[in-house]
Structure 1
Amino acid sequence: MTFSETCNKIFIETTNHYHEFDNVDATPQNPYAEGTIEDLLFRKNWIDAVQWHLEDIIRDPQIQPDEALKIKRRIDKSNQDRTDLVESIDDFFFDKYSDVKVLGDATINTESPAWAVDRLSILALKIYHMEQEVNRTDADPDHLEKCNMKLSVLLQQREDLSTAIDQLIQDIEAGRKYMKTYKQMKMYNDPALNPILYKNKK
C-alpha cells in the first residue's frame, strides 16, 4: 500500500467515524497506537471533520452572537491544533529521511509532504459531503446534476493529489528532492506577536 493509499483509507474511515456521532463534541475512538503516523493521520482528519462542522454552525443566520464568538474562538484553537499536527507529520518525514544522501542537483518542493496531506484530508471531507448532496432525495435534478459534476472533479483531484504525494515521497527517498521543516509561526495566536494581545497586557 502506498502512503497516499494509507492516508485515504484512514481519512475515509475517520470521516465516516465522525459521522457516526455527527457531533462536534464527540470523543473519537482512535484505533492507532499513539505517536505512529497512522495516529497522526487519524487525529488530523478528526480535527478537520470537527472544524468543518463548526464552520457550518457559525454560518447559521439565527446563531446568537455570544455563541458565535465561542465557536469562533474554538475554530481559532482548532486551526492552531491543525497546524501543529501538520508540523508533526512533517517531523515524521524529516526524521524518516534524515539519512538519505541528497543528490547534487536535488530540488526543493513548493510544499512539504504534510501540507499536501493536509489538502488530502480536506478532500476526504469534501467528497463525503458532496456524496451526501448527490444522494439527496429532496433536491431538484439541476442541483443533483451540478453536485455530480463537482463530485467527479473532487474524485479526480484526490487521484491526482495522491499521485503527486507518492511521487514526492519517492523523490525524497531517492534524494532527488529534499525537504525542510518550517514552523508556521501564526502571529495572531501568539500573545508576544499579536499587537492587540500584547498592548492589552500593559
Structure 2
Amino acid sequence: MISELANRIFDQVIADYHIHDAIDHPIENPYDSSSLEHLLYLKCWIDTAQWHMEDVIRNPEIEPREGLYWKRRIDRQNQERTDMVEYIDGYYLQKFNGIIPNVDARVNTESPAWAIDRLSILALKIYHMAQETIRTDVSHAHIESCEGKLNVLLDQRKDLSTSIDELLADIAAGRKYMKVYKQMKMYNDPNLNPILYGVKK
C-alpha cells in the first residue's frame, strides 16, 4: 500500500530533520534518485523545512527586514512544494499510462499527489502535536487538549491513507482516471504578476 510506504518515509524524514533541527541542513536522501521513495522523501523534507520557516516568521519580535527575507524564502519553498507535487503526479501519470478507463470512470476531486501532499503535512502535525503532549513547562489542561487533538490527527491520517490507497486502486482498475491540472501560480511568474512585469519595464 502506498500510504504505508509514504507514512513510513514521512516519519523518517521528520526524525532525520530533527537530528539537527536546522532549516538549511543539507538533505541526505537515502533512496535511489529514480525511485518513488526518493520523491516522497524529498517532498516531505521540503514540507518540513517550510513548516519551520513558518514558525520563524511568526515571531512577533522579528525585524521587518528579516521577516521579508523569510517571506520570500517561504514563497520559493512553496513553489518547490508545488513543483514536487506535480512531479509525483507525473510519476503516476506514467505508471497508469496504459490503463484504459471504464466508460463510466470518474475523475477524482484531487490528484494522487495532492492527497499525498496532505498526508505529508499530517505527518508534521502529528509529530509536533505529539511533542506538545510531552512538554513539562505547561499545564495539565494543555497536555490533555493536545492529546485530544493528536487522536483526531491520527484518525485523520488513517482515513486519508485509506482514501489514497483506494484512489490508486480505482485508477489501476479503470474505475477512476487521472486528470492533472498544473497550478499555474501567477504571483511568482514575472510575465503574469503585474508588479513584477511592471518593474521589468
Deviates more, 1:25-34 or 1:153-162: 25-34
1:65 corresponds to 2:64: yes
Equivalences for residues 1-202 of structure 1 within 5 A:
2-202=1-201
Q: TM-score, normalised by structure 1?
A: 0.98
User: Residue by residue, what CA displacement relative to the aligned partner does 1:18-53 show, whole Å, maximum 9, x if unpaired?
Assistant: 111111011121101113111110010001000000
Per the TM alignment, residue 139 of structure 1 is displaced from its structure 2 partner at its CA by 1.0
The alignment partner of 1:126 has SS state of: helix
Q: What residue identity is the alignment partner of 1:102?
A: P
Per the TM alignment, residue 183 of structure 1 is displaced from its structure 2 partner at its CA by 0.9
Matches of 2:136 and 2:63, distance apart in 1: 31
Matches of 1:51 and 1:102, distance apart in 2: 37
Q: What residue identity is the alignment partner of 1:114?
A: A
Per the TM alignment, residue 59 of structure 1 is displaced from its structure 2 partner at its CA by 0.6
Matches of 2:21 and 2:34, distance apart in 1: 26
The alignment partner of 1:13 has SS state of: helix
Matches of 2:127 and 2:45, distance apart in 1: 14
Q: What residue identity is the alignment partner of 2:126?
A: I
User: Residue by residue, what CA displacement relative to the aligned partner does 1:176-198 show, whole Å, maximum 9, x if unpaired?
Assistant: 00001211010000000000000
Matches of 2:94 and 2:28, distance apart in 1: 27
Matches of 1:200 and 1:101, distance apart in 2: 48
Q: What residue identity is the alignment partner of 1:153?
A: V
Matches of 2:86 and 2:167, distance apart in 1: 17
Per the TM alignment, residue 54 of structure 1 is displaced from its structure 2 partner at its CA by 0.4
Q: TM-score, normalised by structure 2?
A: 0.99
Matches of 1:138 and 1:200, distance apart in 2: 50
User: Residue by residue, what CA displacement relative to the aligned partner does 1:94-147 show, whole Å, maximum 9, x if unpaired?
Assistant: 000010121000000000000000000000000000000001111101100100
- Among all aligned residue pairs of Structure 1 and Structure 2, give the percentage whose two residues are the same amino acid: 59
User: Residue by residue, what CA displacement relative to the aligned partner does 1:46-68 show, whole Å, maximum 9, x if unpaired?
Assistant: 01000000000001111111111
> Structure 1 segments of 4 or more deviating over 6 A?
none
Unaligned runs of at least 5 residues, structure 2: none
